[in-house]
Amino acid sequence: MRSSRSRSGNWGDRLFGGASLGFALLILVLVAVLVGELAWNSRLALRAFGPAFLWSQNWDPVQELFGALPFIYGTLATSVVALLISIPLGLGTAIFLVELAPPRVSETISFLVELLAAIPSVIYGLVGLFVVVPWVRTAFCPSVSAALGWIPIFQASPYGVGIFTAGIILAVMIVPFITTVSREVLLMVPRSQREAALALGATHWEMVSTAILPYARSGIAGSIFLALARALGETMAVTMVIGNRPEIRASLFEPGYTMAAVLANEFSEATSDLHLHALIEIGLVLFVITIIVNGLARLLLLKLGRTTEGRS
Amino acid sequence: MSTPSEPVMPPRITPPAEEPRVEGAALAVEKLNAWFGSNHVVKDISISFPKHHVTALIGPSGCGKSTFIRCLNRMHEVVPGARVSGSVLLEGDNIYAEGVDPVRIRRRIGMVFQKPNPFPTMSIYDNVAAGLRLNGTNRVSVLDAAVEEGLHLAALWDEVKDKLRAPGTSLSGGQQQRLCIARALAVKPEILLMDEPCSALDPIATGKIEELIYQLRERYTVGIVTHNMQQAARVSSFTGFLLMGELVEFGATGKIFTNPKDSRTEAYITGRFG
């Protein structure tokens, strides 16, 4: 009886193990198929332009000349601007919610911040178009370039749409990721760590900076990378406010283009095979860049995590 | 079980039989009450901690001894819903007087907690230097000297002097606790409070820390909370017995353990409850 039971248990284990393995492999297969499909469907462009596709600045469907650099630049630049704005905003909000706000206020604000993540991106695009674009055009850009115009990235531009505007919209969209995850991580810092700092005569802010933030740093870094991944791939809202001009200009206030935006805009209108294949190659590049960024994030987390190992 | 091995015992330090000499109180507590929400956990305790002596507070779990000692450097109030009344005089000044900054009090009265809590992202050196850096000391020579002195005082220097840059959490539990003691001592407090500093440690590490506490009384006034009566007997010159938030009896350690006045104290130290 015992043996029969253990055999049936083994059978169940095997079924369970096999199914889990199957699902796990399925994910890997899906990723492989995705890469394969993208590569196959971009073969004409891959053959025609080779690696120069990555650093060519030409994007001319009429003459069938395609280069991805303006889109790569646009994607990275908007994401960097978004992170520069959203990290202080999101992390500051998380610290406020955990350390300073009374419980009722904290709950309400947390809820509202999470709500930000639920707003459809086309709504962000509309708000961007009707509110942020005019504001950047008439108020922000003129005043900033009046003061800092001697720095190339802050040169004046009359458009309002552009890399910087897209960065602002993206920043608002990714703040909930940073705030929500960082808040959870900060809440998990043990009381003993807070008390260790307080007992040494730390003020509230010194406790946050010497004990809490260092303890939570790997989780905070994780929240930032989650937000970055979202920013790299965001399509709709960016397309609506970035200006969609495939050129690299020094000024952040000039229009640009991102990889996701050009895919969305031109895919349905691409008539020639080479144009279509070039667009799909951009998709492949976006995919690879996302994987590289995530890989770097993993490495950084490992490095940060090592010092917190063995904590009691 | 053919060769019974010698049990490992912490060093025996017998309390002196005669009354210890007292040169004034470092900390005088008057009618201290403390609450968590509506839960009255410390009731009307008045006690004084004599200078350059170790004073132990003993009592069964939940008697309020940890809460009481946390009131002495204003750590009680960091818990939401916590409340204190009464006064605690540090060199004659009430630390609960209006306008007193708890941060300044905590810089004068150090504290060591139940579980070792070094900062996990900091090296051994940075852990000990953390308090000084909070005080605005950044001169390398000053920090070096203070770190070495703190580690010497905590009897940890010889074990870590070659790996000051290693993470604080790479040490064993007992070493981590001594690191926390070094961290507390490096800022040169007047008083050191310890809240069951050995409860998470094995007997050998406990023995080392007890020896350390016994030596610290030469330079500091020490208050220690423990549920281990032998420990109180070994390290302290004065002992207070707390029960249900009240101070039942306070006196010279020798007297409390050999000739207690209150029958409840006697019942506790003879092991009849608690």
- Separation CA B50–CA B238 (nearest Å): 8
Report the CATH number at residue A61: 1.10.3720.10
Cβ contact (<8 Å) for A197 and B121? no
Cβ contact (<8 Å) for B134 and A211? no
> Which pLDDT value is given to residue B1?
39
* Interface probe with A: pick from B119, B125, B133, B176, most Cβ of A within 10 Å: B119
**Residue A25 domain-assigned (yes or no):** no
Nearest Cα to B223, choosing from B193, B190, B258? B193
- Is B183 in contact with B128 (CB distance < 8 Å)? yes
* Interface probe with B: pick from A106, A198, A200, A208, most Cβ of B within 10 Å: A200
3-class DSSP state of B53? coil
> What are the phi and psi torsion angles at B257 (to 5°)?
-85, -20
Range of the domain at A239: 43-311
The count of C-alpha atoms lying within 13 angstroms of the C-alpha of A169, restricted to the half-sphere facing its C-beta, is 35
**Residue B82 domain-assigned (yes or no):** yes
- Separation CA B239–CA B249 (nearest Å): 8
**Residue B15 domain-assigned (yes or no):** no
Min Cα–Cα distance to chain A from B12, Å: 30
**Could you state, in chain order, the average pLDDT of each consecutive group of 10 residues for chain A (312 residues)?**
56 91 95 94 91 90 91 95 96 94 92 92 94 93 90 87 94 95 93 92 92 91 90 92 91 93 91 92 93 86 62 37
pLDDT for A102-127, tens place per residue?
989 999 999 999 999 899 999 999 99
The angle formed by the CA atoms of residues B165, B171 and B177, to the nearest 5 degrees, is 110
**Residue B202 domain-assigned (yes or no):** yes
Cβ contact (<8 Å) for A217 and B184? no
Using an 8 Å CB-CB cutoff, list chain A residues near B107.
200-201
- Non-local (6+) Cβ contacts of A116 within 8 A are A172, A173, A175, A176
Cβ contact (<8 Å) for A309 and B116? no
Cβ contact (<8 Å) for A201 and B133? no
Cβ contact (<8 Å) for B113 and A196? yes
Residue B48 one-letter amino acid: S
**Residue A229 domain-assigned (yes or no):** yes
- Separation CA B155–CA B172 (nearest Å): 14
- Is A303 in contact with B167 (CB distance < 8 Å)? no
- Separation CA B138–CA A178 (nearest Å): 33
Using an 8 Å CB-CB cutoff, list chain B residues near A197.
119, 130, 134
pLDDT for A29-87, tens place per residue?
999 999 999 999 999 999 999 899 999 998 988 888 999 999 999 999 999 999 999 99
> Which pLDDT value is given to residue A8?
57
3-class DSSP state of B85? strand
DSSP B168: G
Report the CATH number at residue B235: 3.40.50.300
pLDDT for B134-165, tens place per residue?
888 888 999 999 999 999 888 899 999 899 99
What burial letters (b/e) apply to A264-302, b meaning 16+ CB within 10 Å? bebeeebeeebbbbbbbbbbbbbbebbeebeeebeeebe
**Residue A75 domain-assigned (yes or no):** yes
Decide if A312 touches B, using CB distance below 8 A.
yes
How many domains is chain B built from?
Answer: 1
**Residue A106 domain-assigned (yes or no):** yes
The angle formed by the CA atoms of residues B121, B127 and B132, to the nearest 5 degrees, is 130
DSSP A100: I
Range of the domain at B108: 25-115+187-269
> Which pLDDT value is given to residue A309?
44
**Residue A194 domain-assigned (yes or no):** yes
**Residue B68 domain-assigned (yes or no):** yes
> Which pLDDT value is given to residue B106?
92
DSSP A129: I
3-class DSSP state of A45? helix
Q: Is A176 exposed, middle or buried (CB count within 10 Å of its CB: 0-12, 13-18, 19+)?
A: buried
How many domains is chain A built from?
Answer: 1
Low-confidence ranges of chain B (pLDDT < 50): 1-4, 10
Min Cα–Cα distance to chain B from A219, Å: 13
Cβ contact (<8 Å) for A200 and B131? yes
3-state secondary structure A143-179: HHHHHHCCCHHHCCCCCCCCHHHHHHHHHHHHHHHHH
Nearest Cα to A159, choosing from A256, A254, A77, A70? A254
Cβ contact (<8 Å) for A198 and B106? yes
- Separation CA A79–CA A170 (nearest Å): 7
**Residue B94 domain-assigned (yes or no):** yes
**Residue B168 domain-assigned (yes or no):** no
Distances (CA, A) of B139 to B127, B132, B136, B147: 16, 10, 9, 12
**Residue A104 domain-assigned (yes or no):** yes
> What are the phi and psi torsion angles at A271 (to 5°)?
-100, -40
DSSP A60: E
**Residue A8 domain-assigned (yes or no):** no
